Amino acid sequence: MNTRLNTEVLIVGTGISGLLSAIELSKTYSVTMLTKSRTNECSTSWAQGGIAAAMDNSDIDAHVNDTIINGHEICNPESVTRIIEQGRKSIDLLIKHGVNFNTDGTKLQQTLEGGHSKRRIAYHNDNTGEEIHTSLLKKAKKNKKITIKEDIMAIDLIGRKDALCDGLYAYDESNKSVITIRANIIILATGGANKLYQYTTNPDTSTGDGIALAWRFGCTISNMEFMQFHPTCLYHTSDKSFLISESLRGEGAKLINPNNEYFMKKYDKRAELAPRDVVARAIDIEMKNNNFKHVYLDVSFKGNEYILQRFPNIYNRCLELGIDITKDPIPVVPAAHYTCGGVKTTISGETDCSNLYVIGEAAHSGLHGANRLASNSLLECSVMAMECCKKINEKNITYNEKELPLWDDSYVSDSSDENILISHNWAEIRKIMWDYVGILRSDKMLNRAKDRLEIINNEINEFYHTHRISTDLLELRNIIDVAKIITKSAISRKESRGLHYNKDYPKVSYKYNKSTELNNTEKDFIMKIVSKA
């Protein structure tokens, strides 16, 4: 039976951005948080490296400069500066909420990662994200003004972009029903879209849900062609999503090919400490030119004691798979890792709609440009959460008294074909995106992807509007929307810049020294979505 729920603040997502926002806003409002799976199945809890933070004012300009250089001239300088200026404040807030960073006595330890000009990465061993997420979740669960609901997935936003977003429809997996949720403030903190690719370092939940919701609602989407591929994902049949942290290369680990040859100097004088787009592309070329299935990352020369103390999580995970990293190199491949684009926002998460906010990886704040600097992600997530709460608390929030319609599924049917359609289309989309819209692209590849995605899109939409929904079907609907956005964005950028490399346009063109912005103008499509409500 479909039901209603009312809340003052609704937050979709339980990663660092969502949890920080909930904790801060609960001082004033009642908060409801939704997660489509379990609370720990998010990219935050999988993050290993750390959080980039200029801990003294003398490093702010250098951190800003490193970020803009890595962003290939299309970062928003104002956003970059404002976020980086709050690095120390974000670390202090996380410590206040119980996060334990590694210290040397009372001094915060900081490591080096690719693209940074100095050691400024605060970390907890090699599982920083897990430490942050565990600490924040523990605090949120103790807070009586925060309600966390698991296994509930957002379907669509309710209202009009040019008026107010009144709430959303959400699918309750436990009883197969739809909840109509009314809220005064809606915050999407749903993470990225990296599960669209065949190989990824992210959990299965990274299906671009918030980006798709905002797109269908009419919000502007920006820079989605810039999908970051992490250079070093573990290559193993039993564990295809385990990240081998950037910090190994920061501490001296070397890339070698199966012929036992160091190769990074051929591609960039910075070698293993080059930015991620450079290293990922170098590995991809090395593999394709030589028909290698993978390359290796070697840290064994650092010694047993150092490796066990600095990288215990990576050591133990690899050892479970029969790889002793104190003796053997680690087989690695590039994998989709981070969505640099997203819903166009301010650093406060403000969108085209006055009471709809998007923060964290789902947002495009202007920080990352054409390539994200290592460990700037958790920084952006924490600062955007702080700024979002500040902006909301500055406003005079109007109480939403509208009675929203219940979800109407009286005309849809069940189908025994659902699992086949979903699994087939899911696999095909991910293969298309990996083969044609991946690390190396061309006009022919992108247009081939566009045509094939359009056929799949029509099939999914027809099925969605005539059959009962499920979490799998909702995710499929979201990934086809986001796949089309990424491909359309990539087609429109006739150059190579940062994470977008088109073999037909191998050089940077200053004509494209700007962000890509797309608006959903398919009015008939929007009306079809609204009519289902």
List active site positions.
Answer: 276
Burial class (CB in 10 A: 0-12, 13-18, 19+), 176: exposed
Cβ–Cβ under 8 Å, residues 122 and 51: yes
- Distance (Å, whole) CA 276 – CA 282: 10
Sequence letter at residue 213: L
Which of 276, 272, 187 has the alpha carbon at shortest distance from 229? 276
How far, CA to CA in Å, does 248 sit from each of 174, 251, 261, 306?
41, 5, 18, 12
Compute φ and ψ for 289, nearest 5 degrees.
Answer: -70, -25
> What would the 3-class secondary structure string for 286-344 be?
HHHHHCCCCEEEECHHHCHHHHHHHCHHHHHHHHHCCCCCCCCCEEEEEEEEEECCEEE
DSSP code of residue 460: H
The CA-CA-CA angle for residues 291, 296, 298, to 5°, reads 160
Secondary structure (DSSP) of 393-445: HHS-PPP----PPPP--TT-B--TTHHHHHHHHHHHHHHHHHHHSSSSB-HHH
Compute φ and ψ for 365, nearest 5 degrees.
Answer: -90, -15
The CA-CA-CA angle for residues 278, 280, 282, to 5°, reads 65
Cβ–Cβ under 8 Å, residues 485 and 453: no
